Amino acid sequence: MIFGTTISSVALLLMYAVPGFLLMKTKLVQKEHIPSFAKFLLYVCQPCLTFYSFDKADFSPDLLVNLLVFFLIALVGQFGFLMLFFYIFRKKSVENENYRVYNIAAVLGNCGFFGIPVVERLFPERQDAAVYCLVFTLAFNLLCWTMVLYIITRDKKYIQAKRLVLNPSTISFVVAFVLFVLSIKLPSLLSEAVSLGGKISTPLCMTILGMRLATAKFKEVFGKGTQYLVILLKQVLMPAGVLLLVYFLPIDMFMKQLAFILFCCPVASNVLNFAELAGRGQKTAGSCVLLGTILSIVTMPLMMIILNFV
């Protein structure tokens, strides 16, 4: 059941990449247009997805405690593996900036745009499932604006508290979270508009990936053995390690399963975004994102089989 639902969910998400690929190949969209699509996704769709997800859930003290615990699991888990791979790649990272990209690509997953639709199909009875995903994404974003930029650049000047707080993801999360805690629901018309904006975020994200795939060279994406090792670390070994660690925690089984699923998500598009921001390893970052997303049609369903034994 879990295997079939996961493979159909991932296949559906990958289908959304086809229009973007075709638009680029037929030259209806140019390469220089991609950043505009990405900005619309970041500044419009992502905040809508945040409000939409919180608006669906009903606040309770127990849920608040669970969200805090889940945030700590996400933060500690991602930070721990970032530091582990930082140590593993430390020597090669000095000479080759691509290994700095491999460091973050082996940890950061597309837990929002990719993870939320998969989780909602696996747990249709849980109206709060997407909120857990957003809490995971918050931990992800905090690390992106601090440790991730430092790992890529080895320059502390990129660690800026202002960027950490004043970005669309954090601002929309804080506002939506306050409304959630106060049990304030959006007006019906606004709720419908936000819902539509949130629901197009995943198709748009995958469409952008399709566009990037159309502009990438085949050998750069599929011809480097090291990138397959990174995908193995990110989408197989790390989630298995996380499940082993959280399995013994005194928390709800749903939270254990959800943490495992989100750590199984393919390499995040933010790996490319932050590589571009830092001006380091952009081609390698793009290749890891594309390869990880394509291989997720195999890795995610296979990893979900493990949940049958949990």
pLDDT tens digits, 205-250: 999 999 999 998 889 899 999 999 999 999 999 999 999 999 999 9
Which position has the token pair 């080895």?
154
How far is Cα 104 from Cα 100, in angstroms, rounded to an integer?
A: 7
281: left (phi over 0), alpha (psi -120 to 50) or beta: left
Q: How many residues does the chain have?
A: 310
| Residue 110: both structure tokens together | 């597309």
Confirm whether pTM is higher than 0.95: no
Tell me the residue type at 102. Answer: Y
What average pLDDT does the structure give for the chain? 90
Range of the domain at 173: 2-309
Domain count along the chain: 1
Note the pLDDT tens digit of each residue in 255-307.
999 999 999 999 998 898 888 877 888 889 999 999 999 999 999 999 999 88
Domain of 208, CATH number, reads 1.20.1530.20
pLDDT at 91: 84
| Residue 111: both structure tokens together | 């837990």
- Pick from 148, 198, 259: which is nearest to 44 by CA? 198
How far is Cα 301 from Cα 303, in angstroms, rounded to an integer?
A: 5
Note the pLDDT tens digit of each residue in 131-180.
999 999 999 988 888 888 888 888 777 676 677 777 778 889 999 999 99
